[in-house]
């Protein structure tokens, strides 16, 4: 993609997405010029999946950019991202949640996070089962930790052509959010985010009630790993 195309893609997506659906531009593996083109198109939320890359790009981009961590996060990388990150989408264990809380406390921050749900058929995708997620909340762990704010859930659908299956999985993520919102998080205003939908399936996610899509390839083109 050229600089002009990237800028145009951002503008088109902002026009296309319904009010209430935030766009995270997934810029992993793309050079800073591509991110600046998206910034020029009005984009401020960027998603990265590697701790080192967020650290490098953070210092090169304007300071009003918000950095989201969307990939699998290892405990030993938490320290690298906690100073810069505005939302971690991928909390997939109690251990990781405690680790982020401890590091945030150490540097005097409160970090916003989402609980990642595993609903896809692939065993390679990370995340909590719906039961594990409920247990984490019901056991009081999320209340006990004062330096993380639980802002919602995130999930990925199976990589399949079967749109009905993708729709069912997104529906399950949204329903889990709704149950949590109606019970434990009823009075918690910041619990308002359902992060689901990528380049191939964001239309379905919008239909199923996403509030935040994470789009890379549609904006920046194919990644070169
Ligand atoms: C890479 C990635 C995306 C973006 O995927 P595209 O297909 O390029 O839109 C979204 N979410 C997560 C968790 C990712 O790792």
What's the confidence (pLDDT) of residue 225? Answer: 77
Structure tokens at 94: 């109690």
pLDDT at position 120, please?
Answer: 86
Going from the N-terminus, what domains does the chain have, and what CATH number goes with each?
Answer: 3-220 (3.20.20.10)
| Residue of 198, 215, 217, 224 with the most ligand 1 atoms within 8 Å of its CB, for mutation | 198
pLDDT tens track, the chain, 225 positions: 999 999 999 999 999 999 999 999 999 999 999 999 999 999 999 999 999 999 999 999 999 999 999 999 999 999 999 999 999 999 999 999 999 999 999 999 999 999 999 998 887 779 999 999 999 999 999 999 999 999 999 999 999 999 999 999 999 999 999 999 999 999 999 999 999 999 999 999 999 999 999 999 999 999 987
Instruction: Encode pLDDT of 53-104 as tens digits.
Output: 999 999 999 999 999 999 999 999 999 999 999 999 999 999 999 999 999 9
- Considering only CA atoms, which of 53, 47, 128 is closest in space to residue 88? 47
Give the pTM. Answer: 0.97
Instruction: Name the residue with the closest Cα to ligand 1, atom 7.
Output: 199
Residue 49: CB within 6 Å of ligand 1? yes
What b-and-e string marks burial along 174-201, b requiring 16 or more CB atoms within 10 Å of the CB? bebbeebbeebbeeeeebebbbbbbeeb
The model's pLDDT over 123-137, given as tens digits with 9 standing for 90+, comes to: 777 999 999 999 999
Q: How far apart are CA 88 and CA 81, in angstroms?
A: 9
């Amino acid at each position: 993609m050229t600089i002009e195309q990237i800028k145009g893609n951002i503008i088109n997506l902002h026009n296309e997405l319904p009010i209430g659906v935030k766009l995270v531009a997934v810029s992993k593996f793309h050079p800073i010029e591509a991110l600046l083109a998206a910034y020029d198109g009005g984009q401020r939320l960027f998603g990265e999946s590697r701790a080192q890359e967020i650290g490098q790009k953070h210092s090169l981009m304007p300071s009003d950019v918000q950095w989201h961590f969307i990939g699998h996060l290892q405990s030993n990388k938490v320290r690298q991202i906690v100073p810069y990150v505005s939302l971690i989408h991928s909390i997939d264990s109690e251990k990781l949640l405690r680790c982020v809380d401890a590091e945030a406390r150490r540097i005097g921050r409160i970090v916003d996070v989402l609980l990642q749900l595993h609903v896809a058929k692939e065993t390679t995708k990370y995340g909590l089962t719906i039961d594990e997620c409920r247990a984490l909340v019901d056991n009081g762990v999320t209340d006990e930790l004062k330096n993380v704010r639980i802002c919602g859930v995130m999930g990925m659908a199976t990589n399949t052509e079967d749109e009905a299956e993708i729709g069912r999985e997104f529906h399950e993520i949204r329903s889990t959010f709704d149950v949590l919102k109606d019970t434990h998080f009823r009075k918690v205003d910041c619990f308002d985010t359902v992060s689901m939908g990528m380049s191939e399936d964001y239309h379905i996610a919008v239909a199923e009630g996403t509030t935040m899509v994470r789009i890379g390839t549609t904006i920046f083109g194919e990644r070169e790993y």
